[in-house]
Amino acid sequence: MQSKTLNPKKMDKEIDIAVSVVLKTLSEKYPQLSFVHQKKMMLTNIIVMLSQQYPGYSGYFGKPLETSFITPDGGFIFATNKQGERRIVLVSEVKHQGTNDKRKKEGLPKQAKGNAIERLGKNLIGIKALFKNEGVLPFVCFGNGDDFKEGSPIRDRVLTMNDFFSLNKIIVKKDFLPFEPASMLFRYDVWTIDEMARIMLDVAEQAINYKFV
């Protein structure tokens, strides 16, 4: 099993390129829609959206700091139709975790498992809330590294986050309620720009067809 070395900063740049490819493709394929990429979302805005969707619960939502936000690595892609209806059609993340394979080759001792998964869990809770009243969850996370290889207990943390549904499956529509699994794609090898762009486009198109077609 071989994998290219790719640090988290490089991966962030790779997913940004993939997002650009997806935006260009969507704009060409759906000229009746306009698309915008947004890197972060303020928690206050999420609560405003939830309060509008669930006015009966608005008094129960907390009040986060005005400066608090979530920033998925690939950000949010919004689509707007001619009637001014605006919907999120893609949210994407990329996580690299685990260097003990490299350390072993260099004769170094093992390190503790990383915390990229914990950061993902925090974002995923907020993202799921955004789509609470919708029939799709157009979220995809690409994970790679030694911690995510077959047989690693860290994979079970991801499985738990995904409502115990299998990893490495594209899941966009909420066909399994009350469970809300998403597209959690985790492996040892690095994800290429082409792979990420192709999968993100699939997820976005499923969301567009559900929301606007």
For residues 102-134, one letter each, b for 16 or more C-beta atoms within 10 angstroms of the residue's C-beta and e for the rest, the string is: eeeeeeeeeeebbebbeebeebbeebebbbeee
Q: Which two tokens stand for residue 107?
A: 């004769």
Amino acid found at 64: P
What is the tens place of the pLDDT at every residue in 39-87? 999 999 999 999 999 999 999 999 999 999 999 999 999 999 999 999 9
* Better pLDDT: 16 or 110: 16
Indicate the range of 5-9, 105-109, 190-194 predicted with least confidence. Answer: 105-109
Give me the domains of the chain, ranges plus CATH numbers.
Answer: 8-211 (3.40.580.10)
- Cα–Cα distance measured from residue 59 to residue 5, given in angstroms and rounded to the nearest whole number: 48
- Cα–Cα distance measured from residue 169 to residue 178, given in angstroms and rounded to the nearest whole number: 18
DSSP for residue 2: -
pTM listed for this prediction: 0.86
For tokens 């935006």, name the residue.
23
Does residue 39 contact residue 121 with C-beta atoms inside 8 Å?
no
What is the tens place of the pLDDT at every residue in 95-145? 998 654 454 454 444 544 556 788 899 899 999 999 999 999 999 999 999
CA-angle at 42, arms to 87 and 49, nearest 5°: 45
Does residue 48 contact residue 21 with C-beta atoms inside 8 Å?
no
Question: Which stretch of DSSP H or E encloses residue 95?
Answer: strand 86-96
